[in-house]
Amino acid sequence: MAGEGAAFFVLSNQESGKNKAELRDMHTLYNPSNFKETESFVSTFLEKNSISRNEIDLVVMGNNGDRRDQAIYDELNKSVFNGLLQLAYKQYCGEYPTSTSFAVWLATHILENKTLPSWLLKDDGEQKPIKNLLIYNHYQNKYHSLFLMKAC
């Protein structure tokens, strides 16, 4: 689904009572040659930030419904993201080169409330608090990005 969007965020290196979420780190990867390179990109990012995959409460994924782009998400689901709670976001904003900005907005909303918003849920089952969140997206399997965010 094609999309279009823009986002604006105010970032600060100062803690205050107005902070909604913490952007701990972000990294990009251009045109990986194979899946192992992408898998290593994710694993190395987590290691660099001294966080284990089991400490990630939610992975926000850029699945877009296009079979040509799905394979990388499927492979990551079998490896580094296996067993982790995941949420796809592009059905809400569509596919466009900077759609990750929508994911950052959504992640900020989730982390501010430490829970998934009701409009994302199919039922009202019990939720565990969301404190650490990872965003993974790729655009046309060339432009890969990771964002590690934390609740304040």
In a domain, 15, yes or no: no
In this predicted structure, what is the pLDDT of residue 119?
80
In a domain, 24, yes or no: no
Nearest to 86 by CA among 30, 135, 45: 135
In this predicted structure, what is the pLDDT of residue 129?
94
In this predicted structure, what is the pLDDT of residue 125?
66
In this predicted structure, what is the pLDDT of residue 124?
66
In this predicted structure, what is the pLDDT of residue 84?
95
* 111: CATH: 3.40.47.10
Domain that holds residue 134: 32-120+127-151
Nearest to 150 by CA among 43, 41, 50, 63: 50
In a domain, 116, yes or no: yes
In a domain, 134, yes or no: yes
In a domain, 100, yes or no: yes
In a domain, 6, yes or no: no
In this predicted structure, what is the pLDDT of residue 24?
97
In this predicted structure, what is the pLDDT of residue 126?
72
In a domain, 12, yes or no: no
In a domain, 69, yes or no: yes
What total number of domains does the chain contain?
1
pLDDT profile of the chain (152 residues), mean per 10: 75 88 97 97 98 96 90 95 94 92 96 89 77 96 97 96
